[in-house]
Structures are given as C-alpha cells and as structure tokens.
Amino acid sequence: MATRTQIYKEILREYDALRTEQAAKLRQRKEEIYRRLPRVREIDETLSMLGVQTAKLVLLKPGDMQDALVEMRAKQKELQTERRMLLESIGLTPADMELKYVCETCKDTGYVDNVPCTCLKQKVMDKLYDQSNVRDIVKVENFDHFDVRLYSEQVSKKKAFLPEKTPCRFCVRRWLLWKTSLMGGRTSCFTAQQA
C-alpha cells in the first residue's frame, strides 16, 4: 500500500506529465496555425523582437524610456489586433495559441503560492479512496442490491426496541428517498447486510 508521500510524488509526476503533454499540444497547434497563416508567425517574431528592443532601450537610454514605451505599446496593440483578426478568419482566438490547463487555478502544478490547490487535495482523496478498495465494494454493496427481506422481523428480547439486526425501516425509506433525489437515483450508498 502506497504511503501518503508516495501518493504525493505520484500525483506530482502526473502534473508534470500533463504539463509536458499540454506544451507538446501547443507546439503542434502553433505549427499548424503558422502553416496556415504565415503572417501570424511574422507577427509573433516581431512582438518578441519589440520586447527585446524596448528592454535594451530602457537599459541603454533610460531618458528616452517613456517615448519608447508609448511607441512600443502602440505597435504591440496594432500587431495584436491584426493577429486576432487573422486567427478569427480561421475560427480561432488568441487563446488557442496559449497553454491550456485542466486546472486554471494552479496551472496544473498542484500548488498556489506554495499552498496545495483543491485539485491536488481531490487527487489525494481519490487515490486514497481507490487504495482502500471502497470503490469496488460500493459497486456491489449499494441500494441497487439492498433487500430488506434479508433482515429479521422479530423483535429482540434483549433490546426490545427494534427487531434484532433489522435496519430501521424509517431510516431505509429516508435512505431510498435520498438515493432517488440524487443523480436520478443512480447514487449508491454502502450498507451492510445480514451475514
């Protein structure tokens, strides 16, 4: 049985594999878009170059920085508008040229500011659940297989409150109502039957 540390390590490897997979998909999408729209590649290269040029200017001629920034932003805006229109011409958006994440909150890292993300907590719970074999048990021991006839109707002489080993029928009705009200009656609930 895997320890919690092993489970965490396994999940972090899964996040790593997921990010690698998404990065590969992005490269493929970009190559396909560049093939269809060569102008988009030119624009992307120009936008990268503009950023580098501005950084150099800021370092070498700080006095001219303000004018350079205004000019760069105007040029960036113009190119981004052209890029967006080109992408839209083939039914895409700029988001299609960005990484996609299963969890936008933590960007598939499992953490936000060094705090475990809810998706990481859920993965840990799922793995612990799988490991416990409860999932397999619930496939068999659920309300679909529940049969109240298996329980004795006779009242226990010792306890004299409820029939010995008999589930409270009121409770059973409540459970069945609960089951029916959830997910169209497909929800299962583990219950023990008389041996």
Site string for Zn ion, 21-60 (x = CB under 5 A): ----------------------------------------
- Look at the chain and count its residues: 195
Site string for Zn ion, 75-104 (x = CB under 5 A): ----------------------------x-
The minimum distance between CB 126 and Zn ion, in angstroms, equals 14
On whether the CB atoms of residues 18 and 102 are closer than 8 A, the answer is yes
89 versus 122: smaller Cβ distance to Zn ion? 122
Report the run of H or E that residue 39 belongs to, with start and end.
Answer: helix 38-60
Angular region, 83: left φ>0, alpha ψ -120 to 50, beta rest: alpha
Closest CA to 75 of 97, 93, 53: 53
On whether the CB atoms of residues 88 and 40 are closer than 8 A, the answer is no
- Beta-strand ranges (E) seen in 105-168 are 111-112, 115-116
For 70, what's the count of Cα atoms within 13 Å in the CB-facing half-sphere? 3
- Residue 119 touches Zn ion, criterion: CB under 5 A: yes
The minimum distance between CB 105 and Zn ion, in angstroms, equals 5
Member of 40, 87, 117, 123 binding Zn ion (CB under 5 A): 117
- Residue 106 touches Zn ion, criterion: CB under 5 A: yes
The minimum distance between CB 9 and Zn ion, in angstroms, equals 17
Footprint of Zn ion on this chain (CB under 5 A)? 103, 105-106, 117, 119
